[in-house]
Amino acid sequence: MSNPPLGKDDPQIRCIHCGYFIKRPYPTNQRCPKCNKFVIAIASSSRIFGKRKKKKATAKSLDADRIYLKGGNEYVKFCGIITVDRTPLFASNKKLLYLLELTNNLNFIATFILRGDLEKLLFESENSETEKCLFLEENDLIYVVYGKFPDKKGKWILEQMAKHFSDLVHGKDVNNLKKFDKYDIEKKFKGYLTSIFKENVKFQGIEDQEIADVEDWIRINYVRLTNNFIRIISILLDDEEVLNVFEKEKPNAKRPYLNVLFEDHAREIEVKESLLAAKVESIMWNVLGHTGAFLRSVIFNVGFQHSRFLTFRKFKNGYFLFCLYEGNLEKLGEIEDELEILLEPVIGVPFSGHSKKTDKLKVEIVKYIKEKNKKGQRNPQD
């Protein structure tokens, strides 16, 4: 039994041993899938026609879970746009739509509580892979890009998003768009976004350069230890500069204020702490519930070369530590390690309710914070 001459229009080869018709793509081991015997015609076809070349992708698909930017190492998972008034306008991946709600909650902390701007947040997955969200606020719109990429490249993508989208919504009330207008804007913006990712090929050489932090200090503003939403320890410095939310009159303020007066200053501190705690815990559980990833840190820009860092650390026995710092983020690891040692009497055992050792521990942590903050005072001229 033999095979007829192999031609370009003949996609099948008949096995000379068992008669089975072998279709393309032919087995790479040149054996019949049925009888597992060597078929010389397969080897001949490989020499005649060679291996098929894979077609290069001509466009970036926004529907993909990952839009790769560089050799499989850099990628974008999500691009989104939302108004500061919580109206979602665009989401490249509907599975990650929750990131827009997360953005608004973080922006509330940035603008309303910390009097600054939302800059970046870092996620840490179970396999210790780090991903990030970068943000850009322009004309009451917040642009978001999420994935794994150098900051410079992410900022370039955000700037291009803002440039094209602002043209599409010029003169429109973005919080009250008609369905047809919203659909038309989204459709056009998808085309722009695809072009942005194609254009990004020109920037493959962009890498982040590590710049030494000009600050050599770190100041602890807030420490909170919880277990299953139950507050164990919560310490907010009695400092108006930390959470300057309440003002009697701010007619020309860039940021919103609560026009509330408190006769008791301790009550004012308590309300500020509760306001921050509610937002922080909502953000953390939002991320855990949707992704299983752990929110590691959020960076807020609150002035020229001045940032605040909201950090999260997971301990054993279901304990979580939230901290608010300012200064040099590189010094954060040292602070967290020292706090973990101090907290060991509590976090070292399963939570069973409030105890006297918790009160004693709070006193020790307050003392620790004051000592650390004295050693790292911020330059008053900054």
Cα separations in angstroms, 225 against 272, 277, 284, 311, 367: 17, 10, 13, 12, 16
Q: What is the pLDDT of residue 245?
A: 47
Res 59: pLDDT? 44
Residue 211 falls within a domain, yes or no? no
The verdict on 39 and 94 lying in the same domain is no
Give the C-alpha separation, 177 to 293, whole Å: 34
pLDDT beyond 50 at 361: yes
CA separation (Å) from 250 to 109, 262, 264, 275, 287? 19, 17, 21, 20, 34
Residue 350 has pLDDT above 70, yes or no: yes
Answer positive or negative: Cα dihedral of 23, 25, 31, 35: negative
pTM confidence score: 0.73
In-domain check, residue 74: yes
Q: Is residue 344 part of a domain?
A: yes
> Where a domain ends, among 136, 171, 203?
203
- CATH code assigned at 127: 3.30.450.50
Question: Strands 294-303 and 306-314: what pairing?
Answer: antiparallel
Does residue 104 sit within a domain? yes
Token readout for 119 is 């800059």
- Across the chain, the runs of DSSP E, i.e. the strands, are 12-14, 21-23, 67-70, 74-83, 88-91, 117-124, 130-138, 141-148, 218-227, 230-236, 294-303, 306-314, 319-327
> What is the pLDDT confidence band of residue 214, given thresholds at 50, 70 and 90?
low
Length, in residues, of the chain? 382
Task: Indicate whether 222 and 177 sit together in one domain.
Answer: no
Same domain, 137 and 229: no
Shared-domain flag, residues 227 and 362:
yes
Whether 4 is covered by a domain: the verdict is no
133 domain residue, yes or no: yes
Specify the number of domains making up the chain: 3
pLDDT tens sequence across 235-276: 887 555 455 544 444 444 454 555 556 667 777 777 777 878
Structural domain boundaries, residue 31: 12-49
Residue 282: band (very low, low, confident or very high) from pLDDT cuts 50, 70, 90: confident
Q: Are residues 222 and 365 in the same domain?
A: yes
How crowded is residue 199: how many other Cβ atoms within 10 Å of its Cβ? 12
Same domain, 307 and 254: yes
pLDDT at 83 over 70: yes
Q: Based on the fold, state whether residues 231 and 153 are members of the same structural domain.
A: no
Q: Are residues 361 and 225 in the same domain?
A: yes
What pLDDT is recorded for position 157?
92
Determine, yes or no, domain membership for 5: no
CATH code for the domain in which residue 307 is found: 3.30.450
Together in a domain, 139 and 183: yes
Q: Examine the domain organization and report whether 270 and 355 are in the same domain.
A: yes
Q: How confident is the model at residue 141 (pLDDT cuts 50, 70, 90)?
A: very high
